[in-house]
Chain A
Amino acid sequence: MAQPVLSVRDLRVEFVTRRGILKAIDGISFDIAKGEVLGVVGESGAGKSVTGSAVIGLIDPPGRIAGGEVLLSGMRIDNLPPEEMRRVRGKRIGMIFQDPLTSLNPLYRVSEQLVETIRTHTNLSASAARKRAIDLLAEVGIPAPERRIDSYPHEFSGGMRQRVVIALALCAEPELIIADEPTTALDVSVQAQIISLLKRLGREHGTAIMLVTHDMGVIAETADRVAVMYAGRIAEIGPVRDVVQNPLHPYAKGLMGAIPSLESDTDRLVQIPGSMPRLSAIPPGCPFNPRCPYVFDRCRVERPEPIQHSEHRVACHLYDESSARSEAVA
């Protein structure tokens, strides 16, 4: 296999509080290849956004990366000094946030923001940068870009604003784009446009995309592989079709069954009792054990490590050969 664009090894992120250390991310590992879209899905508090922020080096105190490595095309970036990290950010990693209104400066015209970003990362002249900015706006599907480029962010609609943010992220042709809930603030019809735009850009530029969202539908349509996160750990990771249609981890099973579908009729949705534990009260062993219907003694004491199971990697004792309980769910 070629070298992955992003490689995360045993990453740990902690938040130091008065009441002790909270482990927001507790030892996660994954790779994203060139041109691949990795979906990161989970409920609120699962640590999906923190993972994105940790990769791009935007964890603010009291949070800190407590261990592990983040490699961008083989180069370690988690321990870079802030000045060098600033050059990586934007140049080699682009970022798209949930709310396009807060990631654009309301006081500057879109042209100024795009040209500034382009000129920070390349040595184009002001007029060449402006031309490139217009090309970028055209590429993300903004009609009449040569006229629209001098508008202010508030003159765009939500969907158009998100396109501008995507254009900003593309300015320096990054190797990796981290999209944190890029469509959550948008209406479904606009959401569809943004998703197909992201997919097309990933394909055409060979950009690796880490797509963080809580919407399984978006992941199912966009991602090549998906990582299901729970309480700061990856419960299951695998090709999207397999994980959606044949999830292995009991949490992933529950999550898929809980989503009402447009296709099938069900009288009752699958219900996972309880809710995600708080970071201050993660149970010992497997963090999912108090809610798991297949729980057994080992789950309460020993933390499950990810196990390769066909094409998935799943962190669950049920799939460990030595515990001989696999047939119970299979």
Chain B
Amino acid sequence: MTERSYVEVKDLRRVFDVSKPWLNRVLEGGEKQYLKAVDGVSFNIAKGETFALVGESGSGKSTVARMVVGLLPPSNGEVVIDGVSMTSRAASAERQRLRRRIQMIFQDPYASLNPRWQVDRIVAEPIRAFRLIEREKEIEARVGELLSLVGLHPADGKKYPHEFSGGQRQRVAIARALASNAEFIVCDEPTSALDVSVQAQILNLMRDLQDRLGLTYLLISHNLAVVRHMASRIGVMYLGRIVEISNGRELFAHPKHPYTRMLLDAVPDVGMTGRQRIPVSGEIPNPISPPSGCTFNPRCPFANERCRAEIPPLLGGVACHAIHEGRLAVDAAA
């Protein structure tokens, strides 16, 4: 990458304490238990780019998203956005100014909008919170403008969220994200609660807005087809680590990591009628007691002793001993 990264995530980690309560531990003799939800994740996002994290449930992708926007403090590591560290204590004043430029869109538009507020109040909330516009008349005009931008009518501002369909609510959520002139939007499964025809509307809207406003997206999704459609670069997560990172075309044309190959093979696709697929064995292991070494080793057909003992580093966009050692050819179709 030649230009400076807009978002830099360095060695991000998050550990959750999932121990039983103190009294139970004392009486039943249990140990403290920790869950490493995110275990050393690093990536960069250039300005105006869409970077996507894909993975199955439990892979830690939503935890990364929440740490990037600052909803969850990381246990370790750093998030730098536009040169300002979001995690160190030193830059707090600068960080405050940066906050308004970062917004998030959540998965469930039924839960992310206050049901007792009218839509214009919901959309105006970031404007009021950051004191971007003081005069009520101007706020009203800005809200109308935002609603038109996302394909709603300015008069819709007088309605309540329950009067809208799922897709329209997600439009309201997008309007709210844009209200503070956000540049960087973290979208956590923005369309997985929506029907396909509505999903297409929202994905098209997100792309149009990116073209018009130069937005940078971090897209979290489990849907590979959506990710392929939207993202220029993709990171594949498995049990809290990025196993492969690559640009979109490359990842789908020549997947490297055995997990990525397996995942691509498993996705049902409308273009594959009647195709016999290779079913994958096993499931994601329990993250409280992950396998040693490469966490994918129990499911991996190429695993050897080293894979069971040593965590593979992310080199050349892929974290896999078999590829680094040349045991597994990069271009061979799995």
Contacts and interface: CB of A to CB of B under 8 A. Distances in A.
Interface string B220-249: 001011101100000000000000000000
Nearest to A272: B197
Interface in A198-241: 214-218, 220-222, 240-241
A158 B56 CA distance: 13
Contacts of A216: 196, 270
A221 B262 contact: no
Interface of B: 56-57, 165, 167-168, 195-201, 203-204, 207, 222, 224-226, 228-229, 252, 262-275, 277, 279-281, 283-284
A221 B229 contact: no
B273 A244 contact: yes
Contacts of B273: 220-221, 240-241, 244-245
B283 A221 contact: no
Contacts of A259: 196, 200, 225, 270
B275 A262 contact: no
Interface string A259-281: 11111101111111101100000
Contacts of A217: 225, 267-270, 272
Interface string A308-324: 00000000000000000
A254 B197 CA distance: 7
Nearest to B167: A275
B199 A263 contact: no
Interface of A: 43-44, 157-160, 187-193, 195-196, 214-218, 220-222, 240-241, 244-245, 254-264, 266-273, 275-276
A270 B195 CA distance: 14
A262 B224 contact: yes
B277 A159 contact: no
Contacts of B271: 220, 261-264
B200 A258 contact: yes
Contacts of B264: 262
A222 B274 CA distance: 7
- B interface: dominant SS: helix
Contacts of A187: 56-57, 222, 283-284
A252 to B, nearest CB: 11
Contact of A214 (B167, B195, B207): B195
Contacts of A158: 283
Contacts of A218: 268
Nearest to A215: B268
Contacts of B281: 193
Contacts of A195: 268
Contact of B269 (A262, A268, A271): A262
Given A188-B56, A189-B262, A196 B277 contact: yes
Contact of A272 (B200, B229, B274, B279): B200
B208 to A, nearest CB: 9
B270 A244 contact: yes
Given A189-B56, A241-B273, A271-B200, A260 B279 contact: no
Contact of A271 (B57, B201, B225, B283): B201
Contacts of A267: 207
B204 A271 contact: yes
A260 B277 contact: no
A192 B272 contact: no
Contacts of B284: 187
A237 to B, nearest CB: 16
Nearest to B55: A187
A187 B195 CA distance: 18
A245 B270 CA distance: 8
29 contacts: A43-B196, A43-B198, A187-B284, A189-B262, A189-B263, A189-B283, A190-B283, A191-B266, A191-B268, A192-B267, A193-B280, A214-B196, A216-B196, A220-B269, A220-B270, A221-B269, A221-B274, A245-B273, A255-B196, A258-B196, A260-B225, A260-B228, A262-B264, A262-B271, A263-B269, A263-B272, A269-B204, A270-B200, A272-B200
Contacts of A272: 197, 200-201
Given A188-B267, A218-B268, A260 B226 contact: yes
Nearest to B274: A241
Contacts of A192: 265-268, 277, 279-280
A221 B222 contact: no
A268 B210 CA distance: 13
Contacts of B269: 217, 220-221, 261-263
Nearest to A187: B56
Contacts of A214: 195-196
A240 B262 CA distance: 25
Nearest to B299: A189
Contacts of B277: 192, 196, 221
Choose among A189, A220, A254, A275 the residue with the greatest number of B CB atoms under 10 Å from its CB: A189
